Structure 1
C-alpha cells in the first residue's frame, strides 16, 4: 500500500493522532516514516535599539531551533516506541503548506498523514487550514486525522 509516509508534526492533538496511525501502518507494513516539523516564523518586530534587540532575536531563534529539534526527536522516539522501524526527522523553515508539499514531492512520498487542525487554528479559520490546502495541492494521497 504505502512505502513512505510524510507526517507533519506540530504538537497538536490531531498531529499526535496522525503519528499514531502512521506508526500502526508502519509497524504492519514496514513503512518508512518521514517526520517533519516546521516551526512558526518569528513575528517581525524590528529592534528599537540596534544591538540589544538583535541579541534577543538571535537568542529567540536559537531557542526556537532547539525546541523544534526536541519536538521532532520526541515524535521519533514515540514512533519507535509504537513499533515504527524506519523513522527520519526533518526540521524545515518556511510556509507550512508550501514546505509540506515541497518535501513530499522532493522525497517522493506515497502519502501525507497529518492532523486536520494544528496549533494555529485562528489563522486557519481566516485563510484556510494547512491540511485543507495540502489535500488539494498534493500529488500523493493525503489522510487527515480529526
Structure 2
C-alpha cells in the first residue's frame, strides 16, 4: 500500500492504492484516526449527498442497493458519502492498515456505485460506530444517513445495543433504515 500521505505529503496530493486522499486527521499523539478517500478528486463536488454506513455485511450492501435504486429512479445526481468505522488501533497499526481495512470493508459497495457510474467518497474513522456516524453526520454537508439494519431481536438489542437505534435517537438529520 502506498502510504506517502503518512510521511507528510499534503492530503490533496496523496494517493492510496489509486484513490485520492482528500483529508487525514491525527490525534494529539500523532496517531492516524481518520481518512477521506475518493475515487476521483472531484468526488465531493456534486449536488446530492447522503452518508451511507458501510462494512462487509449484506445489510450494508442492501442499503447501498436501495440508495442506488432511489438515485436511478429519481435521476438524482448523487455522490454517496460512505463511512466505514474501524475499531481503535494502535499508532503503528493505524499507519499500516487503517486505509486498507476500510477499502476491504467497503469494496462491494464501492464497486456497486462505480459500476453504476457514480463517484463516491469514503470517510474512514476509528471509534465506536454510532458515535462516529453521528459525528460524520454533523460534520458533513449531507442530506441524511442511510443504515442497513442487522435485525437484532429485542434481547440482543437490549444487551448489545444497536448502532441503528442510537443513530435514530440522536441524529439531527433524516435517517433511512433499510431492512
TM-score, normalised with respect to structure 2: 0.61
Report the aligned-residue RMSD.
3.0
Where does structure 2 lack aligned partners over 5 or more consecutive residues?
A: 1-46
Task: Report the counterpart of residue 33 of structure 1 in structure 2.
Answer: 80
Select which of 108, 111, 122 maps to 1:77.
111
Task: Report the counterpart of residue 36 of structure 2 in structure 1.
Answer: none
Please state how far the C-alpha of 1:22 moved relative to its aligned partner: 1.1
Where does structure 1 lack aligned partners over 5 or more consecutive residues?
A: 43-53
Please state how far the C-alpha of 1:4 moved relative to its aligned partner: 1.4
Please state how far the C-alpha of 1:99 moved relative to its aligned partner: 0.5
Whole-angstrom distance in 1 between the partners of 2:178 and 2:117: 19
Provide closer, same or farther for how the CA distance between residues 63 and 125 of structure 1 changes in structure 2, counting only shifts above 3 A. Answer: farther
2:151 is equivalent to residue 106 of structure 1 = no
Please state how far the C-alpha of 1:95 moved relative to its aligned partner: 1.0
Whole-angstrom distance in 2 between the partners of 1:105 and 1:25: 23
Task: Report the counterpart of residue 130 of structure 1 in structure 2.
Answer: 163
Provide closer, same or farther for how the CA distance between residues 18 and 36 of structure 1 changes in structure 2, counting only shifts above 3 A. Answer: same
After TM superposition, what 4+ stretches of structure 1 lie above 3 angstroms from structure 2? 57-65, 122-125
Question: What secondary structure, in the 3-state scheme, does the structure 2 residue paired with 1:92 have?
Answer: strand
Whole-angstrom distance in 2 between the partners of 1:115 and 1:74: 14
Question: What secondary structure, in the 3-state scheme, does the structure 2 residue paired with 1:109 have?
Answer: coil
Question: What secondary structure, in the 3-state scheme, does the structure 1 residue paired with 2:120 have?
Answer: strand
